[in-house]
A and B are shown apart, each in its own frame.
Chain A
């Protein structure tokens, strides 16, 4: 693990001498090869929430979780590669908000830049918090702390500052290049750490057939029962799934979030930039096997004899594990322990008195259960790497947006390039400090993070409609886009306030205005919130655009599909053409869905 940290910082130092202009720092000099950016493209998204969360959902919902990949990512990645990347790259915009200014106007950009900057800081804070929590829960540094006579509670602070300093170090030194390099490194580490886990796990429970035998059939099929929300684990019907997740949410994320777009924009040519998301889609398609399968295996592993290394909930809270083996086994579902109220030490139960399981521990417990000393270090490093990867992407995106879209545009115009480079460096420090603040905020107010994520989902949900109209309909105006964005967000808020998932109480889960509709699950509610936000934005933008004066067509060349010369592809080999790759990807996607239907 130490070795990994040394390498991470070493890359930062090695790259420092190449960081001469702000372009080098913020855009990696636009000179990276496509495969590196492609891997960074998914790695930026492969943060804590991803690895832990997908393993958790795998344990909770089964193979249907792979919809988040196959429907919720791949089509959008293909779309951004084939259709949208030429505008991002070709417009010479340096960030997504800057593209909005080129296409629309200042206020749309300011709105997007501000919400984005706040969001990145909080997401990296959440990553940091989750990582520190996990380190504490798994007692990774316990031995070292006891040796040095330090109180164990300090582990949390230690983890936060350690991760902060490492991420700060390599971004401060090497900018986006360093972040991207490290993201790729983390990608390989995660694969190297999790692939043997799946292998050993599968072997232990008797291979694929053993897994099938151990789990109810709904766990093993991704499409079964999708016609009726009552009959499938996700509690969503196919329309909500396809439109909400597959269209609005995933396109909104993969096509507009600068966090991922920035990696594609770091390539050397437009062709390479277009290939980035397409390259990224290939490993992405197979990621379910790496992160969801461990969750399934965790459930299928026979509720075991107490394992010395495993974290029982009692040990988590520090209370003495006084339970007998038999009782301990009942506290597990496979390898998943029950959730324990951190203050009282009581097992948390739902209304019916069934214990609530802490699915988030699925992957960490898998690592501890199946890995002997040695490779366990690798597995844990991979896990930590995934946290840092998510943090780093957020910090660099924050850097760029703050420096170019807020600082350069509104605070200090026309300064020298060296000045902006300096600002960028120090923004890294500021961004990390804010993240630490956010991480501690999460410690003291548990709900604040849920609330904030909810607010972000409101802001993000309608975004894609704006980009879609902006890029493919030349009549769209700046006023239309701005009003559409704001009303889309309002629509999301109102929809959330008026509906409630069946098992929720009015409050953070919705229904705080009044309840007019119940959804079968929270996921269904999220998807439909997104659908409403998108549709409202779409309609309002069209209406307002028709009422306001359009910009002259000459100004929109390179920004709107119909006015931009199509990118030429005939000089490429057939297998290099984005459209050919896209068709191949779709074929693979359909095949996967058929196999696991």
Chain B
């Protein structure tokens, strides 16, 4: 696959999650949370999104690395596919 979707998606959620977490911390105890039933929803949901983003990104990176061809047996050259066919 050309581009694993989990990487950009993970990045987006990580960044948005981080922003919301920071915003939640800054506004901690502020009365804007009256409307969300007293929960600091920015902080809580920011963390949820942060964790989700990081998991996605890690999964995407790992899958990206896996399919690389294993070096051919017996060759000591660092690049397994040096000469073309």
Contacts and interface: CB of A to CB of B under 8 A. Distances in A.
Interface string B4-22: 0100110111011000100
Interface in A35-80: 36
A192 B49 contact: yes
B8 A14 contact: yes
A10 B24 CA distance: 28
B41 A36 contact: no
B1 interface: yes
B5 A36 contact: yes
Contacts of B49: 192
Interface centre among B27, B41, B42, B49 (most CB of A within 10 A): B41
B8 A200 contact: no
Contacts of B5: 36, 181, 184-185
Contacts of A374: 20, 23-24, 27, 41-42
Interface in B33-59: 33, 35-37, 39, 41-42, 44-46, 49, 52
Contacts of B1: 31-33
Interface centre among A15, A184, A371, A378 (most CB of B within 10 A): A378
B3 interface: yes
A199 to B, nearest CB: 8
B41 A188 contact: no
Given A200-B41, A374-B23, A375-B45, A7 B33 contact: no
B36 A372 contact: yes
Nearest to B43: A374
B41 A375 contact: yes
Overall SS of chain B's interface: helix
Contacts of A15: 2-3
A204 interface: yes
Contact of B41 (A14, A31, A32, A196): A196
Interface residues of B, number: 28
A18 B12 contact: no
Given A15-B2, A192-B49, A203-B37, A372 B42 contact: yes
A371 B8 contact: no
Nearest to A18: B2
B20 A375 contact: yes
A369 interface: yes
Nearest to A268: B1
Nearest to A188: B9
Interface string A14-34: 110010000000000001110
B3 A3 contact: no
Overall SS of chain A's interface: helix
B8 A372 contact: no
Interface string A316-337: 0000000000000000000000
Interface centre among B2, B8, B20, B49 (most CB of A within 10 A): B2
B41 A369 contact: no
A370 interface: yes
Contact of A196 (B2, B9, B23, B45): B45
B3 A14 contact: yes
Given A3-B15, A14-B3, A200-B37, A185 B9 contact: yes
Contacts of B44: 196
A4 interface: yes
Interface centre among A7, A10, A15 (most CB of B within 10 A): A7
Contacts of A177: 2
Given A371-B35, A371-B36, A372-B32, A192 B42 contact: no
A196 B36 CA distance: 10
A373 interface: yes
B75 to A, nearest CB: 30
Contacts of B39: 200, 203
A32 B6 CA distance: 13
Contact of A7 (B8, B23, B32, B37): B8
A192 B32 CA distance: 20
A7 B8 CA distance: 7
A204 B45 contact: no
Contact of A370 (B3, B16, B35): B35
A204 B37 contact: yes
A441 interface: no
A372 B20 CA distance: 11
A11 interface: yes
A177 B5 CA distance: 10
Contacts of A378: 16, 20, 45
A385 to B, nearest CB: 11
Interface string A238-249: 000000000000
Contacts of A7: 8, 11-12
A196 B9 CA distance: 19
25 contacts: A3-B12, A3-B15, A4-B16, A7-B8, A7-B11, A11-B8, A14-B3, A181-B3, A184-B5, A184-B9, A185-B9, A188-B13, A196-B45, A200-B36, A200-B39, A204-B37, A371-B41, A372-B27, A372-B36, A372-B41, A375-B20, A375-B36, A375-B46, A378-B16, A378-B20
Interface of A: 3-4, 7, 10-11, 14-15, 18, 31-33, 36, 177, 181, 184-185, 188, 192, 196, 200, 203-204, 369-375, 378
Given A370-B35, A374-B41, 8 more contacts: A11-B3, A15-B2, A18-B3, A184-B9, A372-B41, A373-B27, A375-B20, A375-B41
Interface of B: 1-3, 5, 8-9, 11-13, 15-16, 20, 23-24, 27, 32-33, 35-37, 39, 41-42, 44-46, 49, 52
Nearest first, the 5 A-B pairs at minimum CB distance are A372-B32, A374-B42, A18-B2, A204-B37, A203-B37
